[in-house]
Structure 1
Amino acid sequence: MTTINESYFLQNKPKPTSTTGQSGLGKDDFLKLLITQLQNQDPSNPMDDREFIAQMAQFSSLEQMTNMNTTIQKFVDTQTSQSLVQFSELIGKEVKWVQEVDVDDYRTELQYSDNKVQSVKVEFDGTIRILLDNNRWIHHEQLTQVSGVQTNGTNKPSEEESETSK
């Protein structure tokens, strides 16, 4: 059976590095260059208006792209935190999950297991991990089924539990 390497998942894509340490020029650098150019131009031969307007348009576009990038990054961060809250609802529930097990050198099989969820966390790369009652961390995409906690052989709470919740 062919499997997909988890590193190819969108949520496992490395996050961009911070602005410190980048080799490219930012909007502040662009503005400094423009001001320096204006201060050092020859008064008898000033910059052409069209060239100045083109540079200001480039600066405006750069600033808009930078702002859009910041907004999109905030949106992605919000989605990640919402995913954590969403998956935290699994704590205390029974889940069925799947893993690939090597049968021999040539074959693998899918093995299903049932466990209770103990904890949920977000890794630095945004991946959601789930801690099971057997102290094993699994990837959220390994989940195949979620059930309520079983008591007295059913998914319904016992009469005793129903009375205490009233």
Structure 2
Amino acid sequence: MYKVDPSFYLSNQPNTREPKPDLDKEGFMKILITQLQQQDPTDPMDSKEMVAQMTQLSSLEQMMNMSRSIEMLVQSQLVSPVIEYSHMIGKFVSYELDNEDSEEETENKMKTGRVVGVSQKDGWAILELENGDKVYADAVREVRSEGEDTGKDEGKDEGED
């Protein structure tokens, strides 16, 4: 009978790890310490070069922190359209319907509907209407409260009660 070498078992296989594409502060410090330990004592590393490397690392770390902060700012701005247009819930809006689906060159039609919700898509605010339509906020041409008139048929002056 043959003996099986235990190194062939799956549990004894060496764990492979994925190399990190970026060098972080800890990795840089390990390399620097190893470099200092392995340097030739008769020809040591130039202290100016070491200070320059440390300065570059510090600058890189600050840029990465700034990048993370900007990314967080951008993410917080993505919520903004929903918050910005949430006051329109319950209001009546007049909006243009694009005729992109039809092949005819007709004018855009105006419709009116009551806003029941606000969402966003690709950073754009979308108003969800009671009639089932979903309208981009930039297509809205008029906003009214429920009891408010359109101002087209009465001769009232502004400020008159």
Gaps of 5+ in 1: 1-22, 156-166
2:125 is equivalent to residue 128 of structure 1: yes
2:136 aligned with 1:139: yes
- One-letter amino acid of the structure 1 residue matched with residue 27 of structure 2: K
Aligned residue runs from structure 1 range 3-152, under 5 A? 24-25=21-22, 28=24, 31-40=26-35, 41-44=38-41, 45-102=43-100, 105=103, 107=105, 109-123=107-121, 125-149=122-146, 151=147
Partner of 1:15: none
Equivalent residues, number: 129
Tell me the percent identity: 27
Amino acid of the structure 1 residue aligned with 2:136: H
Equivalent residue of 2:138, what SS? Answer: helix
Q: CA deviation at 1:154?
A: 3.4
Q: 2:118 is aligned with what amino acid?
A: V
* Equivalent residues of 2:95, 2:110 under 8 A apart: yes
> Secondary structure of 2:89's partner?
coil
Q: In the TM superposition, what whole-angstrom CA distance separates every residue of 1:98-135 from its partner, at most 9, and x where no partner exists?
A: 23215964635322221110101234x43322111111
| Counterpart code for 2:53 | Q
In the superposition, the TM-score normalised over structure 1's length comes to 0.63
Contact 1:95–1:116 (Cα < 8 Å) also in 2: yes
5+ residue gaps, structure 2:
1-19, 151-161
Q: Equivalents in 1 of 2:149, 2:142: separation in Å?
A: 16
Task: Tell me how far apart the structure 2 counterparts of residues 120 and 144 of structure 1 sit (CA, whole Å).
Answer: 17
TM-score norm. by structure 2 comes to: 0.64
Matched position secondary structure for 1:109: coil
**Cα deviation per residue 1:61-95 (whole Å; 9 max; x = unaligned)?**
21111111222222223333343222110000011
Determine helix, strand or coil for the equivalent of 2:55: helix
Secondary structure, in 3 states, of the residue corresponding to 1:89? helix
